[in-house]
Chain A
Amino acid sequence: MHGFGVALTPTNLVLMFTGVILGVIIGVLPGLGGANGVAILLPLTFGMAQSPGGATSAIILLSCIYWGALFGGAITSILFNIPGEPWSVATTFDGYPLAQQGQAGTALTAAFTSSFIGAFVAVVMITFLSPLVAGFALEFGPPEFFAVYLLTFCAFVGTSKEPPFKTVAAMMLGFALAAVGTDTVTGTLRLTFGSTHLLTGFDFLVAVIGLFGIGEILLTLEEGLAFRGAKAKINLRVVLDTWKELPRYWMTSLRSSAVGCFMGIVPGGATPASFMSYGVARRFSPDGDKFGTGKVEGVVAPETAAHAAGTSALLPMITLGVPGSPTAAVLLGGLMIWGLQPGPLLFVEQKDFVWGLIASMYLGNIAGLIVVLTCVPLFAAILRVPFSVIAPIIMVICAIGSFTVKNAIFDVWMMVVFGILGYLFKKLQYPLAPLVLAIVLGDNAESSFRQAMLMSQGDLSILFSKKLVGFMTTLALLLLFWPLVTWALGKLRGKP
């Protein structure tokens, strides 16, 4: 309750609405998404976070951008059949057919409402679970933290759709990039090869802006430049009619929220959650074979799950310092830049901040629902701006965003390089999420590993020394070799 007092100041409310509106715009525009939208705006909050209570305002602004982007992705998928965000791809399956049948309003209302429900369930879960997880994690030492990191990264290898060795390659590239610059423990320069630009290392913000922003625009270009959209009108009647219809899908919502929360906490992320939930809903729904032709249920399922996942990705971020999604990783980086050390101690040392953030999750999502329901035509109009105008403007915004991270023009060049990498990686199925997470967490993972090794004098068995750490390490290894296990099982079944 105390948190609502922190979040409900006039300044923070204004920031909340500003954040949501900016976020929706970012979500609607191709090439700008949650992760790089937050990344571009992060440098602007450096000044803000210095004032007392400013860090809370700053995180409210940034997290509301994130909620806005989650909402915004649905608009483009339904009206234009262009998913503004990867996690809204599954929304196009039934959303776009609905819009073509003239029911865009129904589809949009269903999408927004179920996003709201998904997010709400996740926030309730965060409210009750995070103090418990944090209390538990207060007992952690370096070996436990390293085991958590290990678990996070192994989970990527085990659960991602991409070929496992490509996941490993992308992840290790991230770790290597994180190692560039001054070694945090000994102060030695690593991998700089005498270049002064590399002294401070690669900044993950620049990588995110390049990989997700520039890379995305290059990919969009291949598809051609035309946007063909359905007209959108939402009035109160449509909203109320849809709301009357929605309670029928309570089972779908519940299931999708559960899928979403689970996928958000283990770093599966919103995108697989939305697909998985769509698939589950299709299997269990009585008219599952009509999915894909414009069923409201087919919009409810992926949207609920995507938002539940997107929101619950913040739980491991604030309690353990391990983000569940690329955007959460960027937010985590923000906390570190503002001088807050994410992790269990946050709950002890920065009570106002944590509960302010959690309260703003409730309020931000309400603000989001209001904004998107009232402003859909406005946001749809943005998409009618021709590509040859909007593309260079997005590029300029990305360039400014990269520059402001460290006031270095070198970073603008790096952004272009990361853009090319992002384009190549996406086409060749190298996953970007583990790469970004590794850049953000690289230094922490390395120092906890080195501290653990110091404790044991270089003996790896410390990772199995206690019950908890041993359990996590074993689980991590199991997940790491999961593709191998399923492959072996498949072989066995194939040749009995």
Chain B
Amino acid sequence: MTQGGEGRPAFSRKSAEIAVAALFFIFGAIVIYDSARLGVGWQEVHGPRPGYFPFYIGLLICVSAVVNLVRALRVAPEKSSAFVHVGQLRLVLAVLIPTAIYAALVTWFGIYASSVLFIGFFMRWLGKYPWWKVVLVSVLTVVVFYVVFEIWFKVPLPKGPVESMLGLN
């Protein structure tokens, strides 16, 4: 492990464990809350109410979250290894953030135009390819998807203004 910024741990494993256990607890609490609203008890003739089964599921989530939390808290800080290093986190975020933006773009621009942008962005930014290659590969891939999904399997995918401009709707 180098001493530079790239090799520095961004989070410790301990804090990641605590955060995930806490998330589990909150989720379990939500499940319990909603089950309680629906009724967890027994109803004459109809049998168990809708919240009957999820209530215990939520309870189990909370219990196991507490156990995991306690286990995480009992790890001595000096024994806690790195969860992710700064360099690694940067790489992961470099893919995750564009993907999240891509998912948002699909809503407004349709899947085809967004995919051209997404693949192009990756090739240009991470791969440093010349523009002609970027355009060629990204457009070609999307055309292949169009042929396979819209024409071959007849599965319509979301389209936006760019596609309607090209008259594909």
A→B interface (CB under 8 Å): 43-44, 47, 163, 165-166, 168-169, 172-173, 175-176, 179, 183, 185-186, 188, 190-191, 193, 214, 217-218, 221-222, 224-225, 386-389, 391-393, 395-396, 399-400, 403-404, 407, 409, 412-413, 415-416, 419-420, 423-425, 427-428, 430, 446, 449-450, 453-454, 458
Contacts and interface: CB of A to CB of B under 8 A. Distances in A.
Given A186-B50, A403-B157, A415-B103, A176 B20 contact: no
Tell me the interface secondary structure of chain A in the complex: helix
B106 A388 contact: no
Closest 10 CB pairs of A and B: A388-B127, A392-B122, A169-B64, A388-B126, A188-B50, A222-B88, A454-B47, A165-B67, A392-B119, A168-B64
Central interface residue in A225, A392, A409, A413, by most chain B CB within 10 Å: A392
Given A168-B64, A388-B126, A449-B53, 17 more contacts: A165-B64, A166-B64, A172-B57, A176-B54, A176-B61, A191-B54, A221-B95, A224-B91, A225-B91, A388-B127, A388-B129, A389-B123, A395-B95, A399-B115, A400-B145, A409-B158, A413-B104
Contacts of B145: 396, 400
Given A389-B122, A427-B16, A163 B71 contact: yes
B137 A389 contact: yes
A249 to B, nearest CB: 39
Given A403-B111, A428-B17, A396 B122 contact: no
Nearest to A48: B153
11 contacts: A168-B64, A169-B24, A218-B92, A221-B91, A222-B84, A389-B123, A389-B137, A404-B149, A412-B106, A427-B83, A458-B48
Given A44-B153, A386-B127, A420 B71 contact: no
Interface string B41-69: 01000111111111001101100110110
A395 B17 CA distance: 27
Contacts of A165: 64, 67-68, 71
Interface string B139-169: 0011001000100011111100000000000
B28 to A, nearest CB: 8
A173 B61 contact: yes
A211 B119 CA distance: 21
A415 B100 CA distance: 10
Given A191-B54, A396-B141, A169 B92 contact: no
Central interface residue in A395, A449, A450, by most chain B CB within 10 Å: A395
Interface of B: 13, 16-17, 20, 24, 27-28, 30-31, 34-35, 38, 42, 46-54, 57-58, 60-61, 64-65, 67-68, 71, 83-84, 88, 91-92, 95-96, 99-100, 102-104, 106-107, 111, 115, 118-119, 121-123, 126-127, 129, 137, 141-142, 145, 149, 153-158
A467 B162 CA distance: 66
B65 A169 contact: yes
A211 to B, nearest CB: 14
Contacts of A407: 156
A183 B50 contact: yes
A395 B71 contact: no
B102 A399 contact: yes
Contacts of B60: 168, 172
Central interface residue in A172, A386, A407, by most chain B CB within 10 Å: A172
Nearest to B53: A446
B99 A393 contact: no
A280 B168 CA distance: 59
B122 A391 contact: yes
Contacts of B142: 396
Nearest to A166: B68
A395 B115 CA distance: 9
A393 B143 CA distance: 12
B54 A458 contact: no
A214 B103 CA distance: 13
A218 B48 CA distance: 42
